[in-house]
Amino acid sequence: MQHHSLGSILTSRLGVSVLLFFSLPLSLIAAPRGGRITEHKLRIIHTTDIHGNIYPQDFLNNHAGTGSMSRLSTVMKQVRRQDPEALLLDAGDLLQGEPPTYYYNYIDTVSPHIVASAMNYLRYDAVAMGNHDIEPGHSVFSRWGRECKFPLLGANILSEATGKPYFKPYQIFRRSGLKVAVLGFTTPAIPQWVPAHLWKGLRFDDIISSARVWIPLIHRTEQPDLLIVLMHSGLENDNPDYLENAGRALAQGVTGIDLLLIGHDHRKELEWIRPHGTADSVLLINPANHLDRVSDIQITLRKQGRNILSKELRPSFISLEGVEPDPAFLRQFAPEREAVERYLGSEVGTLEAEVRGEDAVFGSTPYMDVIHRMQMESIDAEISFAAPLKLSAVLPAGKVYVRDLFKFCPFSNFLYAMSLTGHEIRGYLEHSYAGWVNTMASPEDYLIRLKPGAKEGDKYKTAVPPYNYSSAQGIDYVVDLTKPEGERVTILRLTGHTEPFDLERTYRVAVNSYRAGGAGGMLTKGAGIAKEDLPKRIVGATSHDQAYYLADFFRRHGSVRPVDPKNWQFIPDSLSRAGAERSRSFLFPKKP
């Protein structure tokens, strides 16, 4: 462990966004007793949550994009000119999020995977597995792993057959005269979100308990000069079922860590955290998602023989804004880009009216109508549950291409049919709206529940992420904003029927695989179904993901007319309208 100089701490707080340091050769300083004192300098570049952002292009909206591996390539060439032995590490979530990953995950499964090829080109040294690297399934992540020329790390991902790590737990590097151990962990909450068949044979252990085994073991057997934890897990945990985000808990609860490189929660973080019972502090850093910036950590270590005299860590961020994409990188991967463009440019049908994702926050909408109708048709369900997954989506009336499908279904979720009673359906909705909206007392109140202290410029403003704003279609219901949580939802009838909704009857309900696993708590806390019983409620499943069935939906219908089904609404209307207007102006301010 290390004490940090004031200069080190000040540098970290400023979050400098330029390349500050140049490589210095190993210096040998004569010492009167105890042998020579050697000074070693090591530079570490850390990325995370890239989510397939390979090219400087927004494939969905067909214009220039930010971040990207192409810009990282420019940065890394400069870094390696200055520091040839720099380590390049990633904290996971690479295989889902952008059309190029979808194409090479599911469409072209014969060619080399674009993510492996691009990361090999960038000369990554190690990657910690993320949940979105597991979710594509064994066939995808195994193929990717075979093609990667660097280790995939995951000390807490165990084989159920052997009880041993399925991926490599850690990797030893020898750089700048130092022995560096990089230990990988992955959020253990994967079973909450990802269907079991996609990770069959794996077990995800708690990060803290795993760290208490592996960190002493590495120190005892490897005796590294530095021990770095590379972890797909965020800073602060708010998941009641799993220690999903273990950053702070790990830094405070386990000693022996020199540097904690984290990801998963898409938040820019830089903090020195003091472990309980020690005088030292651990550097925790997260550059956030999308490769808009990377972490840059400069380490200076002084040794006398095998004894470490001091460690100094100087962290900063390198912004990729304004960095020119590397022309050589773009030339190298031009054929793959062209293949993705051809796929995305395929026409699938026509949309007869405009749809907007942000409208789904405030009531029933044409945008959600398309998703709900596709789900009910694809899985033969009476009722559909779904949430808006792309609030920025705007699709005008006109031709629909494959690229547009990802504005409805950006994630590779499958569809399930579940058997639920009327009581469970109501409980599900009560839980959804409890996190979604406030109990309103006056028109001055916000309709949408906001985070305490939320400010207009914040990236995340809502108390619950909108991907957990799950509404229903196939039933008519109202949500009373004057009632307390748990008493807001009244289901009137099945849409198109006259008889009252039967709370005792069992219904066939469409949900995506993320929700079917219990994510968001709608089925567990809301409907009251034990997590271990959720698989027993599944009565149907698709063989492909939602985007596949949405393409089929458009092709079968040819022309799709999205409508506002008005099957549910917030009441009373006067409160709803005022609260929605106030919430919309705060959540989605108009750009000047």
What's residue 492's pLDDT?
A: 99
**151 — pLDDT class (breaks 50, 70, 90):** very high
Q: Per-residue pLDDT tens for 286-316?
A: 999 999 999 999 999 999 988 999 999 999 9
Helical (H) or strand (E) element with 159: strand 157-159
Under 8 Å CB-to-CB from 234, ≥6 apart: which residues?
244, 245, 247, 262, 263, 264, 265, 267, 286
pLDDT of residue 17: 36
Query: What are 111-144's pLDDT values in tens digits?
Result: 999 999 999 999 999 999 999 999 999 999 999 9
DSSP letter at 502? -
- CA-CA distance, 533 to 530, in Å (whole number)? 5
CB 26 within 8 A of CB 38: yes
Q: What is the pLDDT of residue 523?
A: 98
Residue-wise pLDDT tens digits, 510-524: 999 999 989 999 999
The partner residues of 271 in beta bridges, in order of sequence, read: 284
The pLDDT of residue 263:
99
Q: What's the fold here for domain 347-587?
A: 5'-nucleotidase;  domain 2 (3.90.780)
- The band of 21, judged by pLDDT with boundaries at 50, 70 and 90, is very low
Where helices occur in 406-512 by DSSP H, the ranges are 422-436
pLDDT of residue 14: 32
With cut-offs at 50, 70 and 90, classify the pLDDT of residue 60. Answer: confident
33 — pLDDT class (breaks 50, 70, 90): low
Nearest to 433 by CA among 479, 493, 482: 479
| Residue 477 · residue 429 · CB < 8 Å | yes
From the list 397, 322, 336, the residue with the least C-alpha distance to 64 is 322
Cis preceding-peptide flag for 99 (omega within 30 of 0): no
- The CA-to-CA distance between both ends of the chain, in Å, stands at 49
Tell me the per-residue pLDDT of 207-248, one tens digit each, with 9 for 90 and over.
999 999 999 999 999 999 999 999 999 999 989 889 999 999
Q: Looking at residue 68, what DSSP letter applies?
A: -
pLDDT in tens, 439-450: 999 999 999 999
Give the dihedral sign, CA 215/221/223/228: negative
Q: If you average pLDDT over every residue of the chain, what do you get? A: 93
Residue at token pair 């210095």: 24
Tally of CB atoms within 10 A around 142: 10
**Can you name the residues that pair with 38 across neighbouring β-strands?**
28, 303
pLDDT value, residue 457: 85
* 456 compared with 248, residue with greater pLDDT: 248
Question: Over pLDDT 90: what percentage of the chain?
Answer: 88
The answer on pLDDT for 34 being more than 90 is no
- In this predicted structure, the answer to whether residue 16 has a pLDDT above a threshold of 80 is no
Among the listed residues 127, 80, 134, 122, the one whose alpha carbon sits nearest the alpha carbon of residue 231: 127
Distance from the Cα of residue 132 to its chain's centroid:
7
pLDDT at 22: 32
∠258-153-211 over CA atoms, to 5°? 50
Which of residues 583 and 543 earns the better pLDDT score? 583
Global pTM value: 0.87
Among 191, 211, 185, CA closest to 203: 191
Q: What is the DSSP secondary structure assignment for residue 545, as one 8-state letter?
A: E
305 to 100, 176, 220: CA distances (angstroms): 49, 15, 18
Q: What is the pairing mode between strands 414-421 and 307-319?
A: unpaired
Is 12's pLDDT higher than 60?
A: no
Sign of the four-CA dihedral 190, 196, 199, 204: positive
Cα angle 408, 410, 416; round to 5: 80
Q: What is the pLDDT of residue 592?
A: 63
| 6-339 and 347-587 in the same fold | no
Please tell me the number of Cα atoms within 13 Å of 553 on its side-chain side.
Answer: 27
| Burial class for 391, CB neighbours closer than 10 Å (0-12, 13-18, 19+) | middle
| Domain ranges (residues) in the chain | 6-339, 347-587
Residue type, 22: F
Look at domain 6-339 and name its CATH class: alpha beta
| 262-280 tens-digit pLDDT | 999 999 999 999 998 787 8
pLDDT at 545: 92
